[in-house]
Amino acid sequence: MADLNIPNLNIKSDKYIFKKKLSLRRKSKRRLFTESFFLCILSILLVYINYLIPNKNLLIQNLPSTFNKSFLLLIDLFSYLYEIFLVIFIFASSFTALILMMGSFYRLFRVSKRKSKQIIYK
């Protein structure tokens, strides 16, 4: 009877579990300014990197054919993988069949060599 746990009905429900952990403060103007400055620098860096890429128009024009070629290569890859797994299965099954055949011959040999006791019925 001492092990009986009686639930406490005065505990608040779990829907307010994260309410106190939320930060309701506003960011300072200085912090907002520094964040916007870093965002601006990052965007300028990305634009510069895009500027350095040569032949952008040609790359964009060749995108559908590139997708088509990669899709065909993916299909070839799966067909080759199918063939590879099929060859692995052939070798594994042949090896397993060989072991099972040797085991059955060994068992037949052991049974035929066993000396049986002659029971004489009177």
User: Are 73 and 109 within one domain?
Assistant: yes
**How many domains does one find in the chain?**
2
Global pTM reads 0.43
Residue range 5-61, pLDDT digits in tens: 766 666 656 666 666 665 667 888 888 999 999 999 999 999 999 999 999 999 999
User: Are 66 and 103 within one domain?
Assistant: yes
Q: Is residue 3 part of a domain?
A: no
Domain boundary among 34, 55, 76: 55
State the pLDDT confidence band at 113, using cuts at 50, 70 and 90. confident
pLDDT for the residue numbered 114: 72
Helix (H, G, I), strand (E, B) or coil at 121: coil
Query: Could you tell me the CA-to-CA distances from 18 to 9, 12, 15, 21, 39 in Å, in that order?
Result: 20, 12, 8, 5, 30
Residues spanned by the domain of 81: 62-113
Q: Is residue 6 part of a domain?
A: no
User: Are 51 and 67 within one domain?
Assistant: no
Domain boundary among 5, 35, 55: 55
Count, residues in the chain:
122
Q: Is residue 86 part of a domain?
A: yes
Would the pLDDT of 1 be above 60? Answer: no
Residues 50, 56 contacting (CB under 8 angstroms): yes
pLDDT for the residue numbered 7: 65
Question: Could you tell me which residue, 100 or 7, shows the higher pLDDT?
Answer: 100
Question: Could you tell me which residue, 114 or 70, shows the higher pLDDT?
Answer: 70
User: Are 76 and 42 within one domain?
Assistant: no
User: Are 68 and 41 within one domain?
Assistant: no
User: Are 66 and 48 within one domain?
Assistant: no
What number is the average pLDDT over the span 70-88? 93
Would the pLDDT of 112 be above 80? Answer: yes
